Amino acid sequence: MSASQFHNFGWAFFGFDYGSWGIMTFVVGSFLTSVPALAISMLVGLGIAIASTTYLPRILAAWLDPFVDLLAGIPSIVYGLWGLLVIAPYFGTTIFPWSATHLSWIPGFAPAQFAPTPGIGTSLALAIIVLTLMILPITTLLMRDALKAVPRDLWESGLALGATPWEVTRRVALPYAKRGVWGAAFLGFGRAIGETVAVFMVIDQIERLPVNIYGGTSTMASLIIGTFDNALLTNSYGHTYLHYLAELAIVLLGITLLVNVAGRWFIRRTYTEVAGL
């Protein structure tokens, strides 16, 4: 079988069984890490964007915002190293035992037989947290751009009618900037789902769905980098594995393309020339 032929894995490809070349485990794994990370970073990012455009003295915002933008440029391998060596031990010894006792009523927070709480800390939860920090500057930047584009007239009319700054933000500025917020969500998600190295370093990769937040799992991207050595084998398993990874990459590419097209439909252009947005 040559590398230029398309290997047909059949319908099992879209199934959950990794043993018969299914990818669904990793698609779900990708969403399980990206969606919570996106949700947190959208909330925090929206807060920062509102603080920057509505509440902070302008001079303070002018100092803090470039700093936040700069965070988007930190290489993911550095995040991964920090997550692995600094954050993981802290989470494993302090945060996880606490959350396993006190938050076990939340689904996924209870310790389980194959994913007991204490340990080295690398886990689904840590992957979500590192991912959150990595996309936070991007969602913040895009939403701040959107809020900054709200015309001053609207602001002043709202304030003149007696609305508080919060009310103007909530009922005038945010509806006006709605497209930008949606765009931030989609583009942030596109970043999160494609993130590879940092996620792999902290997720404690195993090729199955997570038992709880303290256990490992794997995403599409982390599976490619984590099991790439299999594809280097020169036997027929290696060849088939390369096909498998390539087709998995096509699925990942398809998802990110859809997400990015949607994001770009909401945001035509950005006004900040950092972060490669």
Partner 1 sequence: MSSALSSPSTFAFDDLTRDRSGHVRRRSWFDGAMRWLLPLLYLVAILPILDLVYWVARGAFPSLSLATLTANPTPGVGSGGGLYAPLMGSIAILALATAVALALGFLGGLTTAEYLDERSAGIVRVTANVMAGTPSIVLGLFGYIAFVTFFGWGPSLAAAGVTLGIFMTPYVFRATDLAYTSVPPHIREAAVGAGARPVQYLLRVASPIALPQVLSGVFLAMAIGVGETAPIYLTTTAVVLPPLGLLAPASALPLYIWSGFETGLVLPSAIALAYEAAFLLLVIVIGLNVLVRLVAARARRRLEGLFQ
Rounded to a whole number of angstroms, the minimum distance from the CB of residue 146 to partner 1 is: 13
Rounded to a whole number of angstroms, the minimum distance from the CB of residue 36 to partner 1 is: 15
Query: Tokens 């304030």 identify what position?
Result: 159
Kindly report the number of other CB atoms within 10 A of residue 51's CB atom.
15
Can you count the helices (H) and strands (E) in the chain?
A: 14, 0
Under rule CB under 8 A, which residues in 1-40 are in contact with partner 1? 3-4
Between 17 and 156, whose beta carbon lies closer to partner 1?
156
Under rule CB under 8 A, which residues in 98-157 are in contact with partner 1? 133, 136-137, 140, 152, 155-156
Between 117 and 256, whose beta carbon lies closer to partner 1?
256
Between 13 and 82, whose beta carbon lies closer to partner 1?
82
Cβ contact 275:137 at 8 Å: yes
Rounded to a whole number of angstroms, the minimum distance from the CB of residue 50 to partner 1 is: 5
Between 211 and 259, whose beta carbon lies closer to partner 1?
259
Under rule CB under 8 A, which residues in 223-242 are in contact with partner 1? 224-225, 228, 242
Between 211 and 220, whose beta carbon lies closer to partner 1?
220
Between 147 and 211, whose beta carbon lies closer to partner 1?
147
Q: Does 207 bind partner 1 (CB under 8 A)?
A: no
Q: Give DSSP secondary structure letters for 135-161.
A: HHHHHHHHHHHHHHTS-HHHHHHHHHT
Provide the sign of the torsion angle of the four alpha carbons 181, 182, 185, 190, taken in this order: negative
From the list 62, 70, 103, 233, which residue makes contact with partner 1 (rule: CB under 8 A)?
A: 70
From the list 22, 29, 36, 80, which residue makes contact with partner 1 (rule: CB under 8 A)?
A: 80
Between 28 and 51, whose beta carbon lies closer to partner 1?
51
Half-sphere exposure of 187 (CA within 13 A, CB side): 25
| Rounded distance between C-alpha atoms, residue 45 and residue 271, angstroms | 17
Q: Does 95 bind partner 1 (CB under 8 A)?
A: no
From the list 9, 82, 176, 182, which residue makes contact with partner 1 (rule: CB under 8 A)?
A: 82
Query: Tokens 């490809």 identify what position?
Result: 13
Q: Does 261 bind partner 1 (CB under 8 A)?
A: yes
Under rule CB under 8 A, which residues in 157-196 are in contact with partner 1? 159, 162, 164-168, 187, 190-191, 193-196
Of 185, 150, 184, 188, the C-alpha closest to 170 is 150
Taking each helix axis from N to C terminus, what angle separates 124-148 and 178-194, rounded to the nearest 10 degrees? 150
Length, in residues, of the chain:
277
Q: Give DSSP secondary structure letters for 7-38.
A: P---GGGGSS-GGGT--HHHHHHHHHHHHHHH
